[in-house]
Structure 1
């Protein structure tokens, strides 16, 4: 897949990176996750995993170059600080790589490292479903937004929810390109789920299946893909939004191992 962006223009906001290579004196590893944010020329990120309990970085972006300082708390209770310059590279599959040159400020070592964007792989079809038969699962893109709006108008259960404004759906996809998963048969959307990740909590919503396609395991197939994505990003618990009184939905979630949390209620307010 060819990215429409260059190294100088690709947005970093909402992207998640994992370590793939580091010098021996570095602490970032394969289980470290960086959750990036960007506003114009400002960048910042939270990171944790492996030897690092909690860390933050903040700096600037100039085209394909990042310059920032970082500070973190290690699992052994010590703190560390440093500075880094990164070069942004867009890979052939559209993911982003950061090639980093860093120097500790809290100790004498320097080094280089590489982190790459994390995207969850869709798991194989369940046992009993022949390869190439039945729905395929893929991530939605901006071009799918009109079809998503039409699908949710038919398959969505919550008549009281605000309208599915196209600009808001597009904004979600630009912020997190892997958030919306769709099930597709012969080029038509027959199911969706949104697997939202804020760097701490994993939220599942808009699990919907075409009324004429229910009972075929499409929801479970979507959920396997959604859970795999969230798990790969570091989630340890999933939560689902289910409309009160949606007995069909409640049965589906229960069948997948989810339990009602009696001591919680959802409170909302329009922005």
Structure 2
């Protein structure tokens, strides 16, 4: 397990709404329709190694109330990167910058070889986000089936009608992501989901755009230790090439250092942000 320590000088707040680019904090750009063929993420024999998942060089975000995070340096080439940081450390803002949804004030941050400042739109198209408070929350009184149908409609061509989501369709869409976590019934209200279901449904919705990298915040919002371990395994499983919802990398945020123990050490890099 690779560990990199980063220091964020006295961040007054890690609330992305104050420092984020308002044009980039909305719904993620669509990389391709949900039924489009995805690019092969493998490396051909003799080809150069793939670029690092993320590479930060003096990356710095400054808001109206001072430094949000940085300047900082960090590199990860592992399929799973855990970004550890308490509230005020700049963790959420760093994750949003990694997803191309927050502009750096200075420095450089590349994701899978793409510069988030010079090619922010390209990074956004290839990065899915889930677990971000105030950005991808689900409406609590809406049935899960309706939530999924709305996202399917969003990801489909305008001329294609999106039928009602049946239990079988929901299982096909959510089952590969939820793993051992029960797939909810279409009529179940979002507010009645368990914490593990809520986060993994949000992950499954993000994956409908077929991103290359998935950025997930607040793993520690799943309070039950057993459920959190299950969620961590589900997220790591997405990075295995044989997974039907395969992504090249997962960047995962948490405030609990023990969460790194839930993941495979030789497939995980740890980035620690401190105030």
Same fold by TM-score greater than 0.5: no
Q: Which has the larger radius of gyration?
A: 1
